[in-house]
Each structure stands twice: as structure tokens, then as C-alpha cells.
């Protein structure tokens, strides 16, 4: 099918949805009030609560929710074909994900900027609050681990991206100081910083690629991926304890410009390549029929593989953890909550096109030959299945069946990231940009947004650890530095989960667990939104139907993984995570079911009033 038609219809659909369904939600369901007092003003502390212009909060929110999720998820999911992935992104983002993000933002904004877990305590019950906080803790631990690993993989695979990503940190510090301390404008300094950053992209591509040397003395823990992961965790500890205006806001604003610029180049390149016939979706199957037998079934795993880009529980944490503390006017919530999710959906559509039509424009084969079309796509999405042999050459049996390597098991995280990087670079190359520079641009894009998500996730985990510590009266962990230390150490342990190649190679193994946990969290956040509407006698179907979808499908996927993979293959850590998260979810659903019939039209106990 023509790539241009797919992209154009998708973008038009998102615009129409924002101006119709999104407007209806804002006006008729949430009743956004421009005169309402917001937490950023009433609780202002210039650390977490900072009233901020809509475009800056939009930049922070979008870059935090986007990260690598709408890149890695769709890049994996086209393994089953591009059509199912595209349909889930389109309908999921409009009717599920955007409602989830928008609703979580409004609920938090009207409850002193509290996290969705705290809000759940008043809407459902005290035990629901404790259960939700526990789910949030485990979900964020996995997010920090997976996204830290993704950036490390990018740095190790594309050293040309390293310089530009790290240069962005002092640039953001300078912009933050200029705006907050000197009262200067934000737009021009951020554009200048963006120009410097792209100058460093050129330097990194042609003159200064930075590689992390392996440290043999550390054994498996001395690989470049593991060492980069350690450096990133130290960075996110420091970044997440700073006031938001110092680094988080200016860096995210710079990143928002970067994304819009590169996304614009990708879309323009897509249209040029598609119009000239250079790129076509026929390079990949619309629905794959030759999926390896060891691959998970498309139903329900499509819906957890693509989380960000369609619906992601992590977004409720950003909405209720940082963005709600910065919004200066209630009506801004529609653009920030609903609009950001639709833009993320548009990014996911571009990723799907890049991993299919873009990849089909040409990649280097195993022997250095240039491959195009289906042959190019198969270099990333097909792998020969081979039996695993013991020392005597006999097949190794697992549960009575010959163990194999290749197929789905051979689909490593760098392959999937590389599919987007190379496919997207082909689109930009169609505009006349040198391919080497185009690859560097895409690699920097992926790493920068993963870093944004990593920083925000660590800050959010700090809030959760502090809330849990206050609940169980563990005073030492209520402090900023101790709570952040717990967030970094637990996330680092997940990041170094050993995959087939040792520590730091378990990214694709962890992704289904991350996806299921993330989507279960989305279902619980939508459940809280359902209670908010039910208590006010507002239409609940807008949240209840998506909540049911996001509870049943991820729960099914988690049980499938536990029964077919974690238990028989003795993956004890994953099994523990899976059982714990599934149990917490079931418990919270039972709590909600018991109270649901009794609370229609009964308003919850209000949060402490905002100071005047």
C-alpha cells in the first residue's frame, strides 16, 4: 500500500480527533475552567510546583511520555505485520491512550498535583492507594531499567550520537539559568542551543564519535553497554534531584524542538520517497504469515508490545507526577494531555512506516551487499532457526522438545532500534541529506528522548518511594536523596538483568514484562478515572471500556508469559515480578468491585483545599 496515503490519512485522523473528541472531553466531561486555581500557583515552591507556559509544559510532557516507547514498541510489533500495528496505534491513541493521559492529568490537577495512586485512595479506598503505589513502584523500576538499557545500547551501537546527547546537558543548564535567574526569554536561547546540538551531531558523525572501551577486568560487567548504563544512572540521580527549572524543563523544551524538526524531516522524506515510489509498505507483510513458532501470539501481545504510541500506563505517572504541578491554566490540559498523546501516535505511525517502507529502501546485508525491498526488511525481522547442540553434537532438549536459537529469540534490542534508525535515515536521505549524517540524527533523537524519560521516571519513582515511606513510617526514605538512591539502585538492578549474552543484554526479554506491567497500570489508572466519573454521574463508558480492555489483555498476556515461559524456563526473577504484579492488580480490582455499586453520585472525600 502507498506509504503517503497511510501517513496522510493517519495524520488527518489525529487532527480531527483532537478537534472533536478531545474538545468534547475537555468541555462536556471535565469542564475545564480557565479561572480555576491550579496547584502550580497555590503550592508554588519553584522546585516541583512551578507555574509554566503551556508550550514549555507541552515540551516536557511530550518528550517525557515519548521516550523510546513509541519507537521500540512499533519497531518490534511490525514483526507480525504493519497493518495490525497501525490499527492499534490509530484507534488506541484516540480512544484509549489520549483519554487515559488527559484524565490522569485532570484528576491530579484537581487533587493538589498528587499522583494517580494518591487519588485512587480517595476515589476507591485506602487499600487501593497502597496497592496502586506498590504497582507504581514495580512499574517504574522496570521503566528505569529498560530505558536506561535502551540508551546504553544506542551509545554502544551508534557512538556518533554520544557527543550531541551529552552536550545538551550544559546547554540546558545555561538556558535554565538564563530564563529563571535572569528573567530572559526562552525561545531564542533554546533554538541557539538546538543549533549547537546539531553542530555536535555533525561533529559526532564525521570527526568525534565517542566509544566506551570495554574493561576486561570487570568481566561481563565491563561491556560498553553495562558501563554506559552505570554512567546514565549516576546522571539521572543528579538530574532528578535538581529543581525542575534547572535541567528538566529547558532540556525537554530543547528536545521538543529537536523532535519536531526531525519528525518534520521524517514526514517530508516519507512523502518524497513515497511519492517517487522509492518507499512502499509492500517491503513488509501487511499481516505476517511466516512468524516463527517460538514467537508470542499476536493476540494479546500486540497490545502490550505497542504501549507508548497507543496507550501507556507510564503516561499517567507523568501526567500526575510532574506535568500537573506545572500547568498554569486548566484549559491547557487538553493540549498537554490529549494532544501530546496524539502527537506520540503520529510518531508511532512514522516509526511503522520507517521500519517497513523506509527499511525497504536499502540496508547493508551480512556480506556488505546492498539489499532492498523484502530482503532488506528480513535482515531485521527474520532469523534462521537452528537447533542448540551439546558438547557431543546432540540436540539439547527442553521439556522434551529440541531447544532452538534464532527466530523470535534471536530478535535483539539493537536490531529493533536499528530498524528504525536505518529506515528513518533512508527517509531523510531522500531529501538529499548524507546517509551518515541522517543516521546520526535519528540515533541522537532516540537517545535524547530516552534520556528525558529516564530522568522523569527517576523523579517520579522518588515521589512514589517517599509516599510509601510516609505510609509505613520509614522516615529515612522520605528524604529526597535516600528515595532517589532507592529509585536508581532498583532500576539499575533491572537494567543489568542478564539476557542470553550476560548482564545488559536482557532488553528484549524484559520488554514483554515491561509492556504487560505498563498496560496493567494503564488499566488501573482508567479504573480510577471511571470512579471519578461514576461518582459525579458523568458518562463512564469513555473510561470504563478502555479500562476493561487494558485490564483483560495485559492480564492475559502476563498469565501467558508466566505459564509458557517464566515458570517452565525457570526465569525466577521474571516469574516473581509477574506473579506479584498480577496479584496486586487482582486485589485492587476486587476492592473496586466491592465498592463500585455503592458510590454512584457520592462524591469522595475532597483533598485538602488549595491555599488561597
Q: DSSP letters along 408-437, please?
A: GGG--HHHHHHHHHHHHHHHHHTTT--HHH
Beta-bridge mates of residue 402: 397
Q: Comparing 173-187, 361-375, 385-399, which segment has the lowest mean pLDDT?
A: 385-399
Q: What average pLDDT does range 70-76 have in this prediction?
A: 85
Q: What digits encode the pLDDT tens for the residues 550-576?
A: 999 999 988 988 998 888 888 777 788
Q: Is residue 490 part of a domain?
A: yes
Alpha carbons 488 and 145: distance in angstroms, whole number: 9
Q: How confident is the model at residue 383 (pLDDT cuts 50, 70, 90)?
A: low
DSSP alpha helix (H) spans, 384-506: 413-429, 435-472, 480-495
- Mapped to the 3 state alphabet, what secondary structure does 230-271 carry? HHHHHHHHHHHHCCCCCCHHHHHHHHHHHHHHHHHHHHHHHH
Q: Is residue 606 part of a domain?
A: no
Q: From CA 598, how far away is CA 433, in angstroms rounded?
A: 62
605 domain-assigned = no
Which 3 state secondary structure label does DSSP give 364? Answer: strand
Q: Which long-range contacts (CB under 8 A, 24 or more apart) does 218-222 make?
A: 220/498, 220/502, 220/503, 221/496, 221/503
Grid cell of 600 as nine digits: 454512584
397 within a domain of the structure (yes/no): yes
Q: How many CB atoms lie within 10 A of CB 165?
A: 24
Any domain includes 607: no
Number of domains forming the structure of the chain: 1
What's the pLDDT at 147?
78
Q: Is residue 274 part of a domain?
A: yes
Whether the predicted pLDDT of 410 surpasses 80: no
CA 393, 398, 401, 403 torsion-angle sign: negative
Decide if 323 contacts 336 (C-beta within 8 A). yes
For the purposes of burial, counting CB atoms within 10 Å of the CB of 329, is it exposed (0-12), middle (13-18) or buried (19 or more)? middle
Burial class (CB in 10 A: 0-12, 13-18, 19+), 153: buried
Between CA 162 and CA 156 the distance in angstroms is 9
Alpha-carbon distance of 119 to 101, in angstroms, equals 15
Phi-psi region of 81 (alpha: psi -120 to 50; beta: other; left: phi over 0): left
Half-sphere exposure of 108 (CA within 13 A, CB side): 30
Mean residue pLDDT of the chain comes to 85
What angle (nearest 5°) sits at the alpha carbon of residue 125, between those of residues 121 and 131?
65
Nearest alpha-carbon partner for 290 in 360, 358, 374: 374
pLDDT surpassing 80 at residue 93: yes
Q: Look up cell 533554546; give the residue.
A: 190
The secondary structure element, H or E, covering residue 153 is helix 126-157
Grid coordinates standing for 142?
522496570
Chain-centroid distance of CA 599 in Å reads: 34
**Single pTM value for the model:** 0.85
Query: How confident is the model over 429-458, as pLDDT tens digits?
Result: 999 999 989 988 888 888 887 777 788 889
**Across 279-293, 296-310, 581-595, least confident range:** 279-293
User: Please, are residues 397 and 403 in contact by the beta-carbon 8 Å criterion?
Assistant: yes
Residue 308 C-alpha from the chain's centroid: 5
Per-residue pLDDT band for 401 (boundaries 50, 70, 90) equals very low
Residue 300: asked if its preceding bond is cis (omega within 30°), the reply is: yes
pLDDT band at 385 (very low <50, low <70, confident <90, very high): very low
- CA 529 – CA 119 distance, rounded (Å): 10
pLDDT-derived band at 405 (thresholds 50, 70, 90) equals very low
Full residue range of the structural domain in which residue 334 is found: 3-598
Per-residue pLDDT band at 425 (split at 50, 70, 90): very high
Task: Give the mean pLDDT of 372-388.
Answer: 70
The grid coordinates of residue 176 equal: 535554565
Measured torsion, CA atoms of residues 268, 80, 75, 498, in degrees rounded to the nearest 10: -170
Query: Do the strands 404-405 and 386-387 form a parallel or antiparallel pair, or are they unpaired?
Result: antiparallel
Which three cell numbers mark 56? Answer: 514549555
- In a domain, residue 199? The reply is yes
Output the pLDDT for position 471: 82
Please check the confidence at residue 544 and state whether its pLDDT lies above 80: yes
Separation CA 228–CA 561 (nearest Å) = 30
Could you tell me how far CA 193 lies from the centroid of its own chain? 25
| Greater pLDDT, 495 or 403 | 495
If pLDDT is split at 50, 70 and 90, which confidence band does 379 have?
confident
Provide the pLDDT for residue 13: 97
Tally of CB atoms within 10 A around 45: 10
Amino acid at each position: 500500500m502507498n506509504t503517503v496515503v497511510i501517513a496522510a490519512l493517519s495524520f488527518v485522523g489525529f487532527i480531527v480527533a483532537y478537534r472533536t473528541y478531545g474538545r468534547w472531553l475537555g468541555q462536556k466531561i471535565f469542564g475545564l475552567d480557565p479561572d480555576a486555581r491550579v496547584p502550580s500557583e497555590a503550592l508554588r515552591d519553584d522546585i516541583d510546583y512551578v507555574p509554566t507556559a503551556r508550550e514549555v509544559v507541552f515540551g516536557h510532557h511530550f518528550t517525557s511520555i515519548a521516550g523510546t516507547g513509541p519507537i521500540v514498541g512499533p519497531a518490534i510489533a511490525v514483526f507480525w505485520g504493519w497493518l495490525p500495528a497501525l490499527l492499534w496505534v490509530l484507534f488506541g491513541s484516540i480512544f484509549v491512550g489520549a483519554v487515559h493521559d488527559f484524565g490522569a492529568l485532570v484528576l491530579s490537577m484537581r487533587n493538589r498535583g498528587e499522583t494517580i495512586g494518591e487519588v485512587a485512595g480517595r476515589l476507591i479506598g485506602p487499600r487501593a492507594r497502597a496497592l496502586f503505589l506498590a504497582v507504581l513502584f514495580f512499574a517504574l523500576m522496570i521503566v528505569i531499567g529498560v530505558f536506561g538499557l535502551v540508551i546504553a545500547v544506542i551509545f554502544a551501537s551508534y557512538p556518533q550520537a554520544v557527543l550531541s546527547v551529552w552536550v545538551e546537558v550544559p546547554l540546558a543548564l545555561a538556558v535554565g539559568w538564563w530564563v529563571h535567574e535572569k528573567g530572559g526569554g526562552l525561545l531564542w536561547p533554546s533554538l541557539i542551543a538546538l543549533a549547537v546540538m546539531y553542530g555536535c551531531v555533525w561533529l559526532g558523525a564525521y570527526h568525534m564519535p565517542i566509544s566506551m572501551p570495554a574493561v576486561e577486568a570487570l568481566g561481563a560487567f565491563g561491556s560498553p553497554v553495562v558501563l554506559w548504563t552505570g554512567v546514565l544512572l549516576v546522571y539521572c540521580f543528579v538530574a532528578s534531584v535538581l529543581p525542575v527549572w534547572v535541567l528538566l524543563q529547558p532540556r525537554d523544551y530543547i528536545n521538543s524542538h529537536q523532535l519536531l524538526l526531525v519528525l518534520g524531516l521524517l514526514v517530508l522524506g516519507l512523502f518524497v520517497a513515497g511519492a517517487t515510489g522509492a518507499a512502499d509498505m509492500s517491503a513488509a507483510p501487511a499481516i505476517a504469515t511466516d512468524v516463527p513458532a517460538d514467537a508470542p501470539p499476536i493476540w494479546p501481545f500486540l497490545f502490550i508490545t505497542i504501549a507508548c504510541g497507543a496507550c501507556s500506563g507510564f503516561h499517567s505517572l507523568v501526567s500526575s507526577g510532574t506535568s500537573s504541578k506545572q500547568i498554569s491554566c486548566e484549559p491547557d490540559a487538553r493540549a498537554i494531555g490529549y494532544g501530546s498523546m496524539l502527537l506520540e501516535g503520529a510518531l508511532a505511525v512514522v516509526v511503522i512506516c520507517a521500519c517497513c517502507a523506509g527499511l525497504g529502501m536499502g540496508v547493508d546485508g551480512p556480506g556488505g551487499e546492498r539489499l532492498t525491498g523484502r530482503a532488506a526488511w528480513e535482515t531485521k525481522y527474520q532469523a534462521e532457526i537452528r537447533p542448540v547442540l551439546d558438547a557431543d553434537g546432540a540436540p539439547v532438549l527442553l521439556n522434551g522438545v529440541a531447544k532452538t536459537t534464532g527466530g523470535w529469540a534471536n530478535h535483539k534490542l539493537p536490531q529493533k532500534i536499528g530498524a528504525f534508525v536505518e529506515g528513518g535515515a533512508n527517509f531523510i536521505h531522500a531529501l538529499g541529506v548524507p546517509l551518515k549524517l541522517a543516521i546520526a540524527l535519528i540515533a541522537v533523537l532516540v537517545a535524547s528522548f530516552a534520556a528525558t524519560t529516564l530522568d522523569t521516571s527517576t523523579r517520579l519513582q522518588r515521589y512514589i518511594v517517599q509516599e510509601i515511606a510516609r505510609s509505613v513510617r520509614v522516615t529515612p526514605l522520605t528524604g529526597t536523596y535516600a528515595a532517589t538512591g532507592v529509585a536508581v539502585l532498583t532500576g539499575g538492578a533491572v537494567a543489568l538483568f542478564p539476557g542470553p549474552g550476560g548482564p545488559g543484554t536482557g532488553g528484549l526479554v524484559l520488554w514483554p514484562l515491561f509492556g504487560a506491567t505498563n498496560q496493567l497500570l494503564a488499566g488501573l489508572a482508567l479504573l480510577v478515572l471511571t470512579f471519578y466519573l461514576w461518582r459525579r454521574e458523568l458518562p463512564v463508558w469513555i473510561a470504563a471500556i478502555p479500562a476493561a480492555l487494558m485490564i483483560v489483555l495485559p492480564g492475559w498476556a502476563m498469565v501467558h508469559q508466566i505459564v509458557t515461559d517464566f515458570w517452565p524456563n525457570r526465569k525466577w526473577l521474571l516469574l516473581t515480578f509477574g506473579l506479584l504484579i498480577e496479584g496486586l492488580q487482582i486485589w485492587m480490582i476486587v476492592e473496586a468491585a466491592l465498592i463500585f455499586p455503592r458510590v454512584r453520585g457520592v462524591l469522595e472525600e475532597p483533598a485538602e483545599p488549595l491555599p488561597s
